Structure 1
Amino acid sequence: MSAKTTIFLTGATGYLGSSVLARLLNHPDRKNLNITILVRDEAKAKIFESKFGVKTVVGSHEDLDKVESAAEAAHVVFNISNADDTAFVGAILKGLKNRNTKIGDVPILIHTTGSAIVMDDARGAYAAGPDTIFDDLDVSKAKAIPPTAFHHNVDLLILDADTAGYMRGYLVDPSTVFGAPTNEIAAAGLANTHSIQIPVLIQAALARKRAGMVGAGKAIWPAIHVDDTADIFITLFDTIRTNPDAAGHGWNGYYNGENGEYTWAELAKAIGQALVELGVASDPEPTAFTQEELLKYFPSLEFAYVWGTNCRIKASRARALGWKPKYTIEDMMKSIKPEVETFLRK
């Protein structure tokens, strides 16, 4: 395409955001992408500008005026930094509305939510049945998600804005993201290289010298590699630019991220096996965290129970656009030992 596409991306130094940015930097149409990123650190901002040729806005999520202004200047906003900050997303939406009012453009927001919008409170006690699977082509299931669901208060702000018509909203909701980013931003030391769910369990296991799980570990979650997740964003972005009607938006704009499922017990067992192989533990079998341990190794008891939830989704929309994930649950299990080794070195 000959026309420049103006982009504002948040989360450029994050685990997933850096992976998406790297793909934009290597995009076949890079010369026509005018990219601006939000960066807290001024020194990092200078490196991004000089080394990677992107514009920067130096600021944080609290700098709402800067965020609003940067969003207003962009036709496409990638929010890949925080799924739960209502004020931050509100500033983005205000900027997009200003853009629509002033120049008539209908801008795009590709927002990162999470599959936790459909998790339950099993606390590891049971595996949810197939009837609970949220296929992203099933709009009725999306509309049945309660407003109190994790992340969903922000999702609803975006869905309301889409319904109002001044922007088009797309919601990418990855599941358990795994793998080490290998992009040039991470290689330059500018990005976080760890996800959340698996590293928390690894660090707890190292501290207690035995793998742990919430309850019996029977609950089920999906997983997706960080590179496959980043590819969803680019597949969606390319479709929006070339064939927007195929992408859907709003309630038809949920893009789940998964390529297979695991139980928490299976994941804990893989961590336990790595501990044994590395001489940290003598028994690979995980044991249930005590309540005292849940409070010790997790930010709160409520947050700890997330590691015992069921969350079942199907990523049909992205696959329909041609997205083809490369990494499987087997790859996730193989990634555990190297990650344990990384935390051991630290």
Structure 2
Amino acid sequence: MPIPQYPLSVLLTGATGFVGGTALSAFLERPDYLAGNVRLTVLVRGEARAAVLREKIGVEVLVADLADVDVVRAAAREADVILHTANADHPPSARAMLEGLKERYEKTGVQSVFIHSSGTGALTDNAKGQFASEKIYQDEDCTDIRAIPTSYVHRETDNMIMQASIDGYVRGYVVMPPLIYGRGTGLFSRTSVQIPALIRAALKLRQSIHVGPGLPLWNGVHVQDLVRLYFVLLDDALSRTPKAPTGSDCFYFCATDTYQWRELAGEIGRRLHAKGAIPTAEPRTLQPEEVQMALGEWSDFAYGSNSRSVAGKALSIGWTPAHPVGGTGLFDSIEAEYEAVLEEGADEKPKVHNDETDRAVGA
């Protein structure tokens, strides 16, 4: 099956976000981009940010919202590669992209590459902080992933990309990061969601907190290591003999760190107390009347569930995270995350899941 050849036309969504901004800065450092072999277009909502990107970076900017599906479809028709980091739960835009790529394939016979940033929120349970699950998902065999209902968070878009890959008009890859930590390198948002939210909650409540007893287990990955995986997949897809599975096995985990929510709360408490930011190092349980103010209505889902996965295929195709599997990168990032929270404002509301996620979770 023919695959795209240089020069490449690349469409990047989410370039003003935490992950997408970091991906954009990584793109700008790639030899193929520096050599003029990549034409990079970024999809951006809002002319103000688009103007900044044009002025400071010089990339081609398409100003549109994901809901502008006709614009999105037309942009996809021109793309050899799509890196979609803007929203894991916006099926209309994903559908429009795939429709554009299908039209492109029918005209050229060339499979475009579609790398989609999803998440292990799709693996979560309803533990509400009460227990640690024994269930650990792996991606060498994606049967358990495919069995997760389409109605659950991320799954509708994930399954669209899987089906398009099975149909053969794209080489699709669904990357499922866990909690993402570390500082981003984009021009705009440089912080993620969960650790900054927990730090802000600790500052507001004067004590680090966890949901319920804090027993569930999650994983983490540094944003730079996540972006590194995108490019491992891209380079493999563009090679003469791609080895990274797509189709029904298009799902990729990238966990490096494992933590218990209570353990994370303890680390946040210890490190913030050492800085004099809170009066005690000991964490405590978040009280029901504090939920809305401290973490928002998604506290059970985002901070009290189990979501356990193992990076399998990514490592086998050459992904080498700078923060090694089994390391302490997540805990070691807390001080930098704290400084970022102070820069952004300790009273900022937590970045919670958007309305599309609200619709998708349903439970």
Q: Same fold (TM over 0.5)?
A: yes
260-269 vs 275-284, greater mean Cα deviation: 275-284
1:256-295 residue pairs with structure 2 within 5 A?
Answer: 256-295=253-292
Give per-residue Cα distances to partners, 1:208-263, cap 9 Å, x unaligned: 11111111111111111111111000111111111453011122211111112011
**How far did 1:108 drift?**
1.6
Question: Which stretches in structure 2 are left out of the alignment for 5+ residues?
Answer: 346-363
1:82-101 residue pairs with structure 2 within 5 A?
Answer: 82-101=87-106
Give per-residue Cα distances to partners, 1:269-292, cap 9 Å, x unaligned: 111112312223222111111112
Q: Is the 8 A contact 1:111 1:170 kept in 2?
A: yes
**Residue 309 of structure 1 pairs with residue 305 of structure 2:** yes
State the AA in 2 paired with 1:20.
A
**How far did 1:2 drift?**
7.0
1: CA distance, partners of 2:48 / 2:301:
38
**How far did 1:293 drift?**
1.4
Identity across the alignment (%): 34
Q: Which residue of 2 aligns with 1:110?
A: 115
TM-score by length of 1: 0.92
1: CA distance, partners of 2:48 / 2:146:
43
Q: Is the 8 A contact 1:15 1:195 kept in 2?
A: yes
Q: Which residue of 1 aligns with 2:173?
A: 170
Q: Which residue of 2 aligns with 1:32?
A: 37
2: CA distance, partners of 1:244 / 1:20:
25
State the AA in 1 paired with 2:263.
E
Q: Secondary structure at the match of 1:126?
A: coil
1: CA distance, partners of 2:337 / 2:295:
19
Q: Is the 8 A contact 1:11 1:17 kept in 2?
A: yes
**How far did 1:303 drift?**
4.7
Q: How many aligned positions are there? A: 337
Q: Secondary structure at the match of 1:78?
A: strand
Give per-residue Cα distances to partners, 1:306-341, cap 9 Å, x unaligned: 311111111111111111111254222121123223
**Residue 9 of structure 1 pairs with residue 12 of structure 2:** yes
Q: Is the 8 A contact 1:271 1:340 kept in 2?
A: no
Cα pair distance change 1:120/1:2, threshold 3 Å: closer
TM-score by length of 2: 0.88
**Residue 56 of structure 1 pairs with residue 53 of structure 2:** no
Greater helix share, structure number: 1
RMSD over aligned Cα, in angstroms?
Answer: 1.8
2: CA distance, partners of 1:305 / 1:85:
19
**How far did 1:64 drift?**
1.5
**Residue 330 of structure 1 pairs with residue 328 of structure 2:** yes
Tell me which of 216, 223, 227 is aligned to 1:226: 223
2: CA distance, partners of 1:126 / 1:64:
42
155-164 vs 309-318, greater mean Cα deviation: 155-164
Q: Which residue of 2 aligns with 1:18?
A: 21
Question: Which stretches in structure 1 are left out of the alignment for 5+ residues?
Answer: none
154-163 vs 141-150, greater mean Cα deviation: 141-150
Q: Which residue of 2 aligns with 1:299?
A: 296
Tell me which of 104, 111, 134 is aligned to 2:137: 134
2: CA distance, partners of 1:198 / 1:303:
12
Q: Is the 8 A contact 1:125 1:219 kept in 2?
A: yes
2: CA distance, partners of 1:3 / 1:326:
28
1:133-212 residue pairs with structure 2 within 5 A?
Answer: 133-181=136-184, 183=185, 186=186, 190-212=187-209
Q: Secondary structure at the match of 2:72?
A: helix
4+ residue runs over 6 A deviation: none
Cα pair distance change 1:62/1:339, threshold 3 Å: same
240-249 vs 47-56, greater mean Cα deviation: 47-56
